[in-house]
Structure 1
Amino acid sequence: MDMSKQELNERVKPIMSPTKREWTNIDKTIACLLFFLHALCIFAPFNFTWNAFWVALILYSITGLFGITISYHRNLSHKSFQLPKWLEYLFAYCGAHALQGDPMDWVSTHRCHHQFVDTDKDPHDRNQGFWFSHINWAFDSYHLTKKVCGKYFNDSKETKRNLFTLVMKHERPDNVKDLEKQIFYTFIHKTYILHPIALAIFLYMVGGLPFVLWGMVK
């Protein structure tokens, strides 16, 4: 079936170059953190131990499989199945240590993606190009916030430069009200960064630098 001119215009958008837009402070912060985490990988081979390797493998399974795939994606975003609340919260807490954001943030973005897939409102619209749809969208907090939480968005220069632009998205979220009603998810949202830091400290106390390098940069 041929698309109408309006539908075609909605789907075909000019590719946004990351060098031709204004980077917010939070974009720069996220980029620096990702660069730092990847830079740590350089030191991992020089701090290899089998115990650290098994820690990485176990944490990858716990945070990636149970946390992101089962909890964030299938259970919370798509509601593919239900879990007992204690198990739902446990899996979601595992996901909070995968360094992909808190449950409310991740789920909101993913639901928005499926609701507006491949349109201008898609947070990682593939029409913006390969790199944008895979990674550059994560450094576009201004437009990401505007897409996911448009009706609450204050389009001002002050907001655009605010380090905490993304916080607006889930103080009054558009599409995660089911999570917002639960104290557990609002608590994780407001204290998110403390949990990976606590994990890193725990790993260091148990196994030193090798556990941190292999456990956190898994």
Structure 2
Amino acid sequence: MVSPLPVSSATNRQQRLWAAVKAHREPLPAKQRRFKWGTTSFMLAMHVAATFALLPRFWSWQGLVAFAVLYWTTVLGVTLGLHRLVAHRSFVVPVWLERILVIMATLACQSGPIEWVALHRHHHRYSDQTNDHHDAGRGLWWAHSEWMLHEIPALDHMDRFAGDLLADPFFRWLDRWFLLLQIPLGLGLYWYGEVAQVHGGGLGLVLWAIPLRLVVVYHVTWFVNSATHAFGYRNFDSPDLSRNCWWVAVLSFGEGWHNNHHAYPSSARHGLRWFEFDITWQHVKALRRLGLARRVQQARYVSGAS
């Protein structure tokens, strides 16, 4: 049980945590300081392509709709599917629905589902400690995205943190071939853009729906690793730097209520106070009403509890 904190205590605790964390960070070993050029080149290419998508020649209402639909698909796939369902098993759904949600998440191109889940579970085990792969104590830029451009020692322990998924052929296949899912998506969008004579053509639709969408989803996800370990308030005295950040919660469908989540990782509900709106939790409740979600775990915030 993690106790709710008075505001003054939460602030003082956070200041002490920041001071302690920053005081005990040794430089990374030389091997880990080297860039992984495959990952770095891919991320650079996506950001360049996303910039081209914003050129007036590629603008269209159809492109905006494709972006919005796929943003909802991929963010919800990550938050509802990979995160709350698979990584934390905070509720149970039929296998066919779990598969659909994981495929939705995999369209976000945030590595394969086994690697994603293993790293997330590792983060919870060592949150803001020296072996946390996106340790906020090394700075916001490191926690935001730089960590993934280098060697990630935590991946050596995937069997320990995601052994349940490694035993599943479906997850193993997706983990290896997740990038291939962008090919039929891109071909379908390009075909529609050409046939419907969308302004910007098929290329415009592809640019809005794939690189621009991926880059926005990347940064929204990364803000959960960086901004919510630096900005916002704390409801609970969790032993890390996690905070609740409202604007990250809006962009990430409720993942920004990060201190709540670190206090109660197995809770399907992250927004615990009346004003902490949690879009993903609304989807969980809808699935429960439809009889598709069961054994839903839900933490509650009780003001003044000890």
Provide TM-score, normalisation by structure 1: 0.77
- Following superposition, the deviation at residue 21 of structure 1 comes to 2.4
Question: Higher helix fraction: Structure 1 or Structure 2?
Answer: 1
Alignment of 1:1-80 (within 5 A): 12-14=24-26, 16=28, 21-23=33-35, 27-45=36-54, 46=56, 47-65=58-76, 67-80=77-90
Q: In the TM superposition, what whole-angstrom CA distance separates every residue of 1:96-155 from its partner, at most 9, and x where no partner exists?
A: 1112121101101100000111112211111111111111111112xx1x22425xxxxx
SS in 2 for 1:193: helix
Q: Corresponding residue for 1:209?
A: 203
Q: Which residue of 2 aligns with 1:89?
A: 99
Distance 1:17 1:131 in 2: 18
Partner Cα separation in structure 1 for residue 22 and residue 142 of structure 2 = 17
Give the letter for the 1:113 counterpart: H
Residue matched to 1:147: 154
Whole-angstrom distance in 2 between the partners of 1:176 and 1:186: 11
Matches for 1:100-119 after TM superposition, within 5 Å:
100-119=110-129
> Aligned with 2:108: secondary structure?
coil
2:232 counterpart residue number: none
Matched AA of 1:116: Y
Q: 1:128 aligns with which of 138, 162, 179?
A: 138
Match of 2:108 among 91, 98, 110: 98
Distance 2:129 2:185 in 1: 38
Amino acid at match of 2:72: S
Unaligned runs of 5+ residues in structure 2 are: 1-12, 14-19, 194-201, 214-306
Name the Cα RMSD after superposition: 2.5
One-letter identity of the residue aligned with 1:199: L
Query: Is the counterpart of residue 186 in structure 1 residue 169 in structure 2?
Result: no
State which structure, 1 or 2, has the greater radius of gyration over its C-alpha atoms. Answer: 2
* Cα deviation, residue 202, structure 1: 2.2
The range that moved more, 31-40 or 80-89, is: 31-40
CA distance in 2: counterparts of 1:9 and 1:214, whole angstroms: 40
Counterparts of 2:109 and 2:21, CA distance in 1: 35
Q: Find the aligned partners of 1:9 and 1:192 in 2 and give their Cα distance.
A: 36
**Structure 2 SS opposite 1:192:** helix
Quote the Cα distance in structure 2 between the aligned partners of 1:70 and 1:80. Answer: 10
Using the TM superposition, give the Cα deviation of residue 42 of structure 1 relative to its aligned residue in structure 2, in angstroms. Answer: 2.2
CA distance in 1, matches of 2:188, 2:143: 34
Cα gap change, 1:119 to 1:137, in 2 (>3 Å): same
TM-score by length of 2: 0.56
Cα distance in 2 between the residues matched to 1:40 and 1:54: 18
Extract unaligned runs of 5+ from structure 1.
2-7, 151-168
CA change 1:129–1:15 in 2 (3 A) is farther
Give the partner amino acid of 1:188: L
CA shift digits 1:69-107 (9 cap, x unpaired) = 101111111111111100000010011111212110110
- State the identity as a percent: 28
Contact preservation (8 Å) 2:34, 2:150: no
Q: How many residues align?
A: 184
Query: Cα gap change, 1:200/1:11 in structure 2, threshold over 3 Å: closer, same or farther?
Result: farther
Give how far 1:38 is off. Answer: 1.1
Distance 1:174 1:35, change over 3 A: same
